[in-house]
C-alpha cells in the first residue's frame, strides 16, 4: 500500500489536515480530499490557469504543486474569496456585473489571479491587466469582458478603500 503523509495547512482561514501520498497534487487534495471543488482542473500541466489558487497570497497553479509542499502554508481558493457572510468580493461582483464569464470553468482561476493582481497593483493600466491575466485561458469570452471586469473590480476596491 502506498505510504501517506499527514498534511496540515490553512485553507480559507481554517486549519485543515489530510493524509495523502507524497505525489498527490495540491489540486487533487483540495478537490478530492478537502471537497473544495471550486478549484477547477483543465489542462493538468500548467498551461490554462484554471487551477490557480493563492499560496500565502501569491497565485500558483495547484496542478503543478505537490500537496506536501503546501504543508504549513495558507491557501486561498475561490471558496474563500467572499466575505464570511457570503457577500461576494469586489472582484466577484465585478465579474458578475461585467459578464466576465460564460461557462465559468476558467472563472475560479481568474478570480484568484485578479484578486492578487489588484492587491499588488490597485489601479492597473490596460497593459498591466493584459499582462496580469496572460496566464489564464478562457475559451468562451474573448477576454474583453474579463478585462472590463478587472478594471471595474479596481474601481469597486478603490471605492471600498475610500469608505464609499
Ligand atoms: S489545470 Fe492547472 S494550469 Fe491547467
Ligand atoms: S467562461 Fe468558459 S472558459 Fe472562460
pLDDT in tens, 97-112: 999 999 999 999 999 9
| Nearest-CA residue for atom 3 of ligand 1 | 46
Mean pLDDT of 22-44: 98
Q: Is the CB of 41 under 6 A from ligand 1?
A: yes
Cα 21 to ligand 1 centroid, rounded to whole Å: 20
Q: Phi, psi at residue 77, to the nearest 5°?
A: -105, 175
Please state the atom number of ligand 1 nearest to the C-alpha of residue 42: 1
pLDDT bracket for residue 11 (50, 70, 90)? very high
In angstroms, rounded to a whole number, what is the distance separating the alpha carbons of residues 117 and 123? 10
DSSP string of 61-124, one letter each residue: EGGGSBGGGGTTSEEE-GGGSS-TT-PPPHHHHHHHHTT--SS-SSHHHHHHHHHHHHHH-SS-
Place of cell 496572460: 134
Per residue in 60-110, pLDDT (tens digit) is 999 999 999 999 999 999 999 999 999 999 999 999 999 999 999 999 999
Give the predicted TM-score (pTM) of the model. 0.96
Residue reference for cell 500541466: 45
CA distance linking residue 162 with residue 164, whole number of Å = 6
Q: CA-CA distance, 133 to 111, in Å (whole number)? A: 10
Contact status, residue 95 vs residue 56, Cβ threshold 8 Å: no
Tell whether the model's pLDDT for residue 164 goes beyond 70.
no
pLDDT at 25: 98
The pLDDT of residue 147 is 98
Structural domains in the chain, sorted by start = 4-80 (3.10.20.30), 90-161 (1.10.150.120)
Q: Is 31 in the pocket of ligand 1 (CB under 6 A)?
A: no
The pLDDT of residue 163 is above 90: no
Amino acid at each position: 500500500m502506498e505510504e501517506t503523509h499527514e498534511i496540515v495547512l490553512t485553507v480559507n482561514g481554517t486549519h485543515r489536515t489530510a493524509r495523502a501520498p507524497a505525489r498527490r497534487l495540491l489540486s487533487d487534495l483540495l478537490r478530492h480530499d478537502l471537497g473544495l471543488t471550486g478549484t477547477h482542473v483543465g489542462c493538468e500541466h500548467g498551461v490554462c490557469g484554471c487551477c490557480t489558487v493563492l499560496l500565502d497570497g501569491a497565485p500558483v497553479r495547484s496542478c503543478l504543486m505537490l500537496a506536501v509542499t503546501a504543508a504549513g502554508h495558507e491557501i486561498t481558493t475561490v471558496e474563500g474569496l467572499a466575505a464570511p457572510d457570503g457577500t461576494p468580493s469586489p472582484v466577484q461582483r465585478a465579474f458578475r456585473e461585467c459578464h466576465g464569464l460564460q461557462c465559468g470553468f476558467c472563472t475560479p482561476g481568474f478570480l484568484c489571479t485578479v484578486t492578487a493582481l489588484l492587491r499588488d497593483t490597485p489601479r492597473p493600466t490596460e497593459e498591466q491587466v493584459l499582462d496580469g491575466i496572460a496566464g489564464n485561458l478562457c475559451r468562451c469570452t474573448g477576454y474583453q469582458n474579463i478585462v472590463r471586469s478587472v478594471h471595474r473590480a479596481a474601481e469597486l476596491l478603490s471605492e471600498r478603500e475610500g469608505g464609499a
